[in-house]
Chain A
Amino acid sequence: MATHILNITKSLQKLTINSRYKIKSTECVKPCVPQACEVIFNNVIRSSANFFGKLPANALWKGITSVSNAGRKRGRAKTVSKKNIKDLNRGQIIGVGKANIVWPGLSAPIIRGKELVEQQKLPEDPDREKKLVQLRDTMGTFKFAKLNPMDRGWTGAKMPGRSIGPPDPIGEDKFDGFDTRVLELKTVFNMKGNFGRKRRLSVFVVTGNSNGLAGFATGKGLESKIALRKAKNRAGQKLMHIKIFRNHTVYHDFFTRFGSTKIYVSQRPPGHGLICHRAIKTICNVVGIKDLYAKVEGSTNLQHVVKAFFLGLLKQKTHQEIAEEKQLHLVELAKETSDFPTVLASPSKCREPKDVSNDEILNFTQYALNGKVVYRKRREAPFFTKLKSWEMYLKKQEKLRGQQQVRINMLAEYGELRSFLTEKYPECRPAKKPPKESQEES
């Protein structure tokens, strides 16, 4: 009986001792002094097993820093964030502590030169604590390297649209002036009887020198880095020559399709820019086309869009080829040059007017599109233009129609806005905001 009571008191004692070592912080902190705990546990007789004593440190650590899949589904992962998980063991070395003591054989060699090193206390290092705190602060707050806004892709932090540099040189041949852009990065799976589901990354890229030389390819790999490298280098091996008219646009309007993806591409004047699907825009940048309009119809499967566009680019005819085919001169009439007939291409032998039949296509665009007519939908007027209030608004606006120009002229002439009465009555000037300083004072 007495021994029984003794056991109870001992277990009570153990409980109180344990409570002394309870972790106070709400943050999940890895116990940094396990040795002390063990010493205490070794001294007591364990009568009951709790998880704290039963499980190894690793399991405890995992239990506190992660949530099971089932728990995640129940919403338990909300409270566990990487920000709160801090490994207090990091940065701490056995034998080095707050009291700066030299322990021969632990934190210092036993023999230095011919002398035996003695245990001694050195003055405290004031920076140690600060360094530890700093290290702990950086834990759980990992930041991605800042990306220049110009280097960003099409959307967010995703890869598509981003540049991954020129293909790797092959021996002596370097890809100078080339740039590779990611067009697609997706996960693909392969199913096999013996291996099961295998996950890989598939990358679709286009590379080019912005001067009429470009190629595209896909690359696959378990990691994105490998897939990107594979795709880039493969694209460098599949370069195509692309004809660019006056170094800024396509030679003529054209229609192209791949599968059910149809693209209508049309030539545009300098300064117009690229008004098209983002993938086509990226390709144009890489190829060196600066002005173009393209409309994608049907499927917008990215690989199909790219293939259709490249097919169209490759099938372009130069003006010389067209003139030769048609056996007529090709003449350009531009408004900026006062409609001077600039001969773009002349055939080796020109046809006589009598040889030109009536039903022949003589419209250049029609000829380039092979007789296909692009449906241009008429844009309907917005609904509000039918309202009475819109009419009233227009009436009210009419007297203000030249206001902007009048303001500019007035500022140019008098240096201020004024009325015809200003000469006689100087107060006839628009109210001016007082200068900022006086506002602050008041």
Chain B
Amino acid sequence: MAALRLFSRCLALKKYDSLPNIAPVSIIFNRTLKYLPKEYNETDPAPLFFNGEIQSLLKTLTRVNLNKVYRRRKLGQKKLDLPTYKFVTDEQLQEMMKDAEVKADELLQMPPVLKIRGVRDRVLSRDPALQGYDAATYIFTDITFGIKNIDRIIIAREPDGTLREADWPLRDRMNQVYFPLPGRELKPPLMFQDNYLEKLLTRKEYEFILDRSCIQFEPDDLDYQRVTTITYQHVNDNNDFEILRSTRHFGPLAFFLLWHKEIDNLLLDLIQSSQIQEANVLLQLYEKFHKVELNVTGLQNTEALEKYIKEFSNKRGSLELAVQAYKELEEEKKQMERDLKHVHGVA
């Protein structure tokens, strides 16, 4: 201990008996879900995700709607507070609106998409002389103020005398013990277990799942990626894109679908709702992700779309039909405009 104090840092010591409640966080996998998690475990998606251009394109896909961003939320109060009323001039109102937009940008900041973190199992020393000194693991945590959770030194002395770096679950737990984050539990809530998660998914509580997983886990945690990827797949299969639009989770969802080349459902949804610009943005992203040429020239054209359908799509039939319907609708609109102009004697 004296040697450790030489670091002139505060060290917190925890002694753990072999208790059940400190056993590494284990989530019981009852494989009842029909989805398998698809973690980002091979190539690192971060460079692509943090690219400025891709961020802005993902934001375009999010389709910011202030009414939805600032929707009425339950804040966990027992009683609602009275709103405040203000008399404002035109200028003040515009400023307030501008501030709201800036704040909306903050609220819509996407959770990062990262590769899952590597294993931490570096052994610092093996001291067989200490074997059998105690039945408990000693954990040493550097609790100096102002160190990031990720940089904090946390080491463990095993009963067999091995001094090793704490592994991720242990680190998370110790960080939460000494520097609790509001909303994060010491142990992952049961809702992230497959059997409970399935119920939430069938109830379409996607936002709740994704929000809570953001609070509970680190973005490069295996559990985080398990929960989110399963949710994304469920959203994709049920075409529930509208639920996640204008939330911060739409970007990562689109990123996931692009990464795994599963954009057909989203594309179909966009074409059917006549959002041809967004469909083209999606194809632009597809080009960037998979280094293919789709020649997206204008955002109103359907050529790139047709090319994509021909070459890469898995749902060719329905997509082609949707494009056809879209074209006919556009033609009808144009015709009607022409007729109207004719009737009014404009052209």
Contacts and interface: CB of A to CB of B under 8 A. Distances in A.
Contacts of A341: 86, 88, 93, 96-97, 100
A268 B72 CA distance: 17
Interface in A261-313: 267-272
Contacts of A340: 66, 70, 100
Nearest to B18: A423
Contact of B85 (A268, A338, A364, A420): A364
Interface in B81-116: 81-93, 96-97, 100, 103, 107
A331 to B, nearest CB: 5
Interface string A324-363: 0010111111111110110110000011110010000010
A337 B89 contact: no
B194 to A, nearest CB: 17
A335 B86 contact: no
Contacts of B107: 338
A330 B86 CA distance: 6
A352 B89 contact: yes
A121 B260 CA distance: 106
Contacts of B71: 337
A428 to B, nearest CB: 13
Given A269-B80, A335-B75, A413-B187, A328 B89 contact: yes
Contacts of A269: 79-83
A313 to B, nearest CB: 19
B87 A329 contact: yes
B81 A350 contact: no
Q: Place the interface of chain A in its size category.
A: 35 or more
A332 B89 contact: no
A412 interface: yes
Interface in A217-264: none
B21 interface: yes
Contacts, number: 94
Interface string B282-317: 000000000000000000000000000000000000
A110 to B, nearest CB: 85
Nearest to A291: B80
B147 interface: no
B6 interface: no
Contacts of B85: 330-333, 344, 364-365
A330 B87 contact: yes
A329 B82 contact: no
A330 B20 CA distance: 58
Contacts of B20: 423
B148 interface: no
Contact of A364 (B79, B87, B96, B100): B87
B70 A356 contact: no
Nearest to B80: A269
Given A267-B82, A268-B82, A338-B103, A328 B70 contact: no
Interface in B38-86: 66, 70-75, 79-86
Nearest to A331: B86
B89 A334 contact: no
B190 interface: yes
A55 to B, nearest CB: 73
A346 to B, nearest CB: 8
A391 B79 CA distance: 30
A350 B79 contact: no
Max chain B Cβ within 10 angstroms of own Cβ: one of A331, A351, A412, A420? A331
A364 B81 contact: no
Q: Which of B20, B74, B82, B190 has the most CB of A within 10 A?
A: B82
Contacts of A343: 93
Nearest to A323: B87
A45 B93 CA distance: 112
B28 interface: no
Contacts of B72: 334, 336-337
B19 interface: yes
Nearest to B93: A329
A336 B103 CA distance: 15
Contacts of A270: 80
Contacts of B91: 353
Interface in B170-229: 187, 190
Contacts of A362: 86-87
A336 B73 contact: yes
Contacts of A337: 70-73
A365 B187 CA distance: 47
A268 to B, nearest CB: 7
B73 A333 contact: no
Given A269-B82, A337-B70, A420-B19, A328 B87 contact: yes
B114 to A, nearest CB: 27
21 contacts: A269-B79, A328-B89, A331-B85, A331-B87, A331-B88, A331-B96, A333-B85, A334-B81, A334-B83, A336-B73, A336-B75, A336-B80, A337-B73, A338-B73, A338-B107, A341-B88, A344-B85, A350-B90, A353-B92, A362-B87, A420-B19
Given A329-B90, A337-B73, A338-B73, 20 more contacts: A269-B82, A269-B83, A272-B79, A328-B89, A329-B89, A330-B87, A331-B86, A331-B87, A331-B96, A332-B84, A333-B85, A334-B83, A335-B81, A336-B74, A340-B66, A341-B88, A341-B97, A364-B85, A364-B86, A423-B20
